[in-house]
Amino acid sequence: MRDPILRIEDLHIEFRTSRGVIHALQGVTFDVMPGEIFGVVGETGCGKTITGLSVLRLLPRSARITQGNIRFEGVDLLKISQREMRSIRGGKISIIFQDPSTSMNPLFTIGFQMNKVIREHLKFSREKARERALTMLAATGLPDVERIYDSYPHQLSGGMLQRAMIALALSCEHSLLIADEPTTALDVTIQSQILQLMRELQQKLGVAMILITHNLGVVANMCDRLVVLYAGRVVEIGESRSIFENPQHPYTRGLMSAIPAPGSRGNRLSAIPGNVPIDPGALKGCVFAPRCAFVMPRCLKESPVMFHLSKDHASTCFLAERGDLF
Amino acid sequence: MLMNLQKAEYILRRLLTSVFVLLGLTVITFFIARVVPSNAAALYIGPKARPEDIERVTKLLGLDKPLPVQYLVYMRDVLKGDWGTSISSKRPVLQEIASRFPATFELLCTAMIIAVATGIVVGVISAQWQGKWLDILVRAASIVGVSVPAFWLGLLLQILFFRNLNILPLSGRVDSDLRFTHPIMVTTGIYLIDAIIHQNWVALKDVCLHMILPALTLAAYPASLIARMTRATMLEVQSQDYIRTARAYGLKESFIVYILALKNAISPTLTVIGLTLAYALTGSFFVEIVFNWPGLGMFTVRSLLNLDYPAIMGITLFGAIGYVLINLLVDIVQTWIDPRISLS
Ligand SMILES: Nc1ncnc2c1ncn2[C@@H]1O[C@H](COP(=O)(O)OP(=O)(O)OP(=O)(O)O)[C@@H](O)[C@H]1O
Ligand SMILES: [Mg+2]
């Protein structure tokens, strides 16, 4: 078996806020294999973004990784120096954010921003970096790339900007791409185009991709494997097909029944009654118990541990262990 | 190309609005000069006006004509450069202003250069060290800087550097002996430049020494304000998504802060610079009095004390024009920094 390109092990993240400590991630563990698309799914606030940011060590100042480790290509990312981290950011791992209109600097041209990154990591000359940027822009299906290269972000539409962002994210021979809800802020008509483009390029360039989304429908079409997060914990993990055919956690089932119809926008999984607890660390027992339709007395007292149904499918639900969820 | 056209159009539009603002200003000064006073002619002549003089001046100023006609006449005179005659000196007001303007301009420019440079540098450093002792020190200093009155600070500096340490001159633009030993040949009226043009190094040193205290006094307020603004906008900008993107793509921290973030932060700061410049213009009047600086400020105070009505109106109009031009300049520089501006 191949080694994973990224291995996150027992990751705990805390936020120190004026209202006390929030345990935002509690023991998240997953592997991402080279060249695969790995989905991270969950409702808003469950910790998807901070999981992605922690890989790049870009967490907000108030956040602290209190436990666990993150290994990328065998290197412990939490131990290396700031300098080494900088060469990995944008050099080996790249990221695409949710809102393309705010993730590019409004006062500099697309070309300037791409050129700078390419020169930083590939050590190209200015001219060669420009060539490279133009090639990448063209690869994302943008027309008239020379004009786009010299454009400022406000002169492009959201879809064009996100394509430019993808071009940037793949411009330096990266081996891992983290896409944090790359289509949520876009017009519904171009969401699927962008996703398709990402998959095409991902396959052509052979990069691994972490696709963060609250939309299980997107994951179903794109991902090889996925993890379902709830309140900062892994509730189910495994091969997409296996999870879709046979979900082994009541939360996953709730998400599946809440898959937004294709084309609808932003519907943040309101089908499961109740809300994500603000500080899940304070709860005893299973974090999902307060919202679970199948709750048992045991769920309120003990925390369920990961139960492996097969080599590549696991769930943290007592029912999955007993094998009578359905 | 498209961009440049938009930019040109925007600048043209701004120029046009400036012209309208200036026209509006002349209407206001006209009203204050000719309409508001119950007897403008008497005011124009001064306190010792005799009835026959008043009658003569009423005719002279056209005060017997309808208001629109009076305004047109006033505008024609203003455009011709005839801004009236000073009551106390009996010289044309515009000439009086022109002869004093270089001294004020020189002081103002020096002070603003100091204020902008220190304000931005200190603001950036303060933001970088947010919450550390350096930042706390800067913030405390800037509060002092905005709250201490200029004349008081000027006096304090005089006591310290002239009386106690005796390393800087008390007041004036140059040493009085210099007129005989190394007289400055006046070409521009701005002594720093004149001394350099004519390679009068002795005078240059003297001019610089005289400049330090008044310039620092005048710079204190704008520098503090600019520092506070720069600090705030730097912090604000650095929490933006696009700065996170720059970090996520491994750009150098120094590049992110001093090139990317600073350019984003400079735009709001520039607006503050425009505003403080207007403040500094009035602030320079106090500073000029404290430092016996022969500029417009001294002239203004004297005109006020003498109720020299035409001179006061002239200064008002002149200051207003300066203010409009500064704001126009700030706006033009803004378009050059921020490509989005010409669109709104
Ligand atoms: N700056 C912050 N300060 C305090 N707590 C935070 C901060 N950012 C995130 N959190 C906490 O971390 C949790 C996870 O946040 P995160 O942004 O990762 O959620 P998400 O799954 O990406 O949600 P969304 O779908 O809305 O993007 C939040 O519920 C919140 O409690
Ligand atoms: Mg998020």
| SS3 per-residue string spanning chain B | CHHHHHHHHHHHHHHHHHHHHHHHHHHHHHHHHHHCCCCHHHHHHCCCCCHHHHHHHHHHCCCCCCHHHHHHHHHHHHHHCCCCECCCCCCEHHHHHHHHHHHHHHHHHHHHHHHHHHHHHHHHHHHHCCCCHHHHHHHHHHHHHHHCCHHHHHHHHHHHHHHHCCCCCCCCCCCCCHHHHCCCCCCCCCHHHHHHHCCCHHHHHHHHHHHHHHHHHHHHHHHHHHHHHHHHHHHHHHCCHHHHHHHHCCCCHHHHHHHHHHHHHHHHHHHHHHHHHHHHHHHHHHHHHHCCCCCHHHHHHHHHHCCCHHHHHHHHHHHHHHHHHHHHHHHHHHHHHCCCHHHC
- Pick the closest to residue A208 from A4, A30, A2, A37 (CA basis): A37
- pLDDT of A7: 95
Please give the backbone phi and psi of residue A69, each rounded to the nearest 5 degrees, phi first: -145, 160
Domain end among B79, B101, B116? B79
pLDDT tens-digit series, residues B231-247: 999 999 999 999 999 99
Q: Do residues B234 and B124 make contact, with C-beta atoms less than 8 angstroms apart?
A: yes
In one letter, which amino acid is A90? G
When divided into structural domains, chain B yields a total of 2
Domain end among B28, B53, B79? B79
Tell me how far the alpha carbon of residue B28 lies from the centroid of ligand 1, in angstroms.
56
Domain end among B79, B111, B127? B79
**Residue B18 within a domain:** yes
Q: Which residues, 6 or more positions from A145, have their beta carbon under 8 angstroms from its beta carbon?
A: A134, A137, A138
Looking at all shown ligands, the one closest to residue A229's CA atom is 1
**Residue B342 within a domain:** no
Residue B150: which pLDDT band, with cuts at 50, 70 and 90? confident
Are residue B37 and residue B97 in the same domain, yes or no? no
What average pLDDT does the segment B319-324 reach?
87
Looking at all shown ligands, the one closest to residue A14's CA atom is 1
Domain limits for position B104: 93-337
Q: Is A45 left (phi over 0), alpha (psi -120 to 50) or beta?
A: left
**Residue B294 within a domain:** yes
Q: How far apart are CA B342 and CA B335, in angstroms?
A: 6
Shortest CA gap B250–chain A (Å): 5
Residue B343 has pLDDT above 70, yes or no: no
Nearest CA in chain B to A170: B249
**Residue B309 within a domain:** yes
- pLDDT of A261: 54
Looking at residue A172, the DSSP 8-state letter turns out to be: T
Q: Is B177 on the interface with A (CB under 8 A)?
A: no
Helix (H, G, I), strand (E, B) or coil at A176: strand
Are residue B59 and residue B178 in the same domain, yes or no? no
Chain A positions with Cβ closer than 8 Å to B: 56, 58, 86-91, 94-95, 97, 99, 102-108, 116-117, 120-121, 152, 154, 168
ipTM: 0.87
Which of B67-71, B128-132, B147-151 has maximum average pLDDT? B128-132
Q: How far apart are CA A96 and CA B239, in angstroms?
A: 17
Are residue B241 and residue B113 in the same domain, yes or no? yes
For chain B, what percent of residues have pLDDT higher than 70?
A: 96
Residue of A56, A104, A107 to mutate for B, most B C-beta atoms under 10 A: A107
CA–centroid distance for A156 within its chain: 25
Ligand 1 pocket, residue A89 CB under 6 Å = no
- pLDDT of B259: 92
- pLDDT of B127: 93
**Residue B289 within a domain:** yes
**Residue B86 within a domain:** no
Shortest CA gap B333–chain A (Å): 14
- pLDDT of B3: 61
Q: What is the DSSP string of A13-66?
A: EEEEETTEEEEEEEEEEEEE-TT-EEEEE-STTSSHHHHHHHHTT---TTEEEE
Q: Do residues A15 and A63 make contact, with C-beta atoms less than 8 angstroms apart?
A: yes
Are residue B136 and residue B68 in the same domain, yes or no? no
Residue of A103, A168, A176 to mutate for B, most B C-beta atoms under 10 A: A103
**Residue B73 within a domain:** yes
Are residue B162 and residue B46 in the same domain, yes or no? no
**Which residue out of A8, A22, A99 has the highest number of ligand 1 atoms within 8 Å of its CB and is therefore the one to mutate?**
A22
Are residue B153 and residue B203 in the same domain, yes or no? yes
Tell me how far the alpha carbon of residue A275 lies from the centroid of ligand 1, in angstroms.
14
Which strands, in side-by-side order, build the sheet including A233-239? A93-96, A176-180, A208-213, A37-41, A225-230, A233-239, A313-315, A307-310
Q: How far apart are CA A41 and CA A230, in angstroms?
A: 9
For chain A, the maximum distance between any two Cα atoms, rounded to a whole number of angstroms, is 67
Q: Which two tokens stand for residue A285?
A: 């027992």
Nearest CA in chain B to A86: B250
Q: Do residues B29 and B320 make contact, with C-beta atoms less than 8 angstroms apart?
A: yes
CA–centroid distance for B132 within its chain: 34
Nearest CA in chain A to B344: A154
**Residue B184 within a domain:** yes
Q: Give the closest of B250, B264, B340 to A120, CB-based.
A: B250
Are residue B44 and residue B97 in the same domain, yes or no? no
The two beta strands, A6-17 and A208-213, are unpaired
Are residue B210 and residue B314 in the same domain, yes or no? yes
Do residue A97 and residue B339 have CB atoms under 8 angstroms apart? no
Are residue B197 and residue B52 in the same domain, yes or no? no
Are residue B106 and residue B55 in the same domain, yes or no? no
pLDDT tens-digit series, residues B175-192: 777 777 777 777 787 878
In one letter, which amino acid is B193? I
- Here the CATH number for the domain that contains residue B97 is 1.10.3720.10
Reading chain A (326 residues) residue by residue, the pLDDT tens digits are: 678 999 999 999 999 988 888 888 988 999 999 999 999 999 888 899 999 999 999 999 899 999 999 999 989 999 999 999 999 998 999 999 989 999 999 999 999 999 999 999 999 999 999 999 999 999 999 999 999 999 999 999 999 999 999 999 999 888 999 999 998 888 888 888 899 999 999 999 999 999 999 888 888 888 999 999 998 899 999 999 999 888 888 888 888 877 655 555 544 444 566 666 666 666 678 888 888 878 888 888 888 888 888 888 888 888 877 766 65
Q: Give the closest of A87, A102, A152 to B240, CB-based.
A: A102
Are residue B104 and residue B46 in the same domain, yes or no? no
Are residue B196 and residue B224 in the same domain, yes or no? yes
- pLDDT of A266: 47
Dihedral angle sign, alpha carbons of residues A237, A241, A242, A245? positive
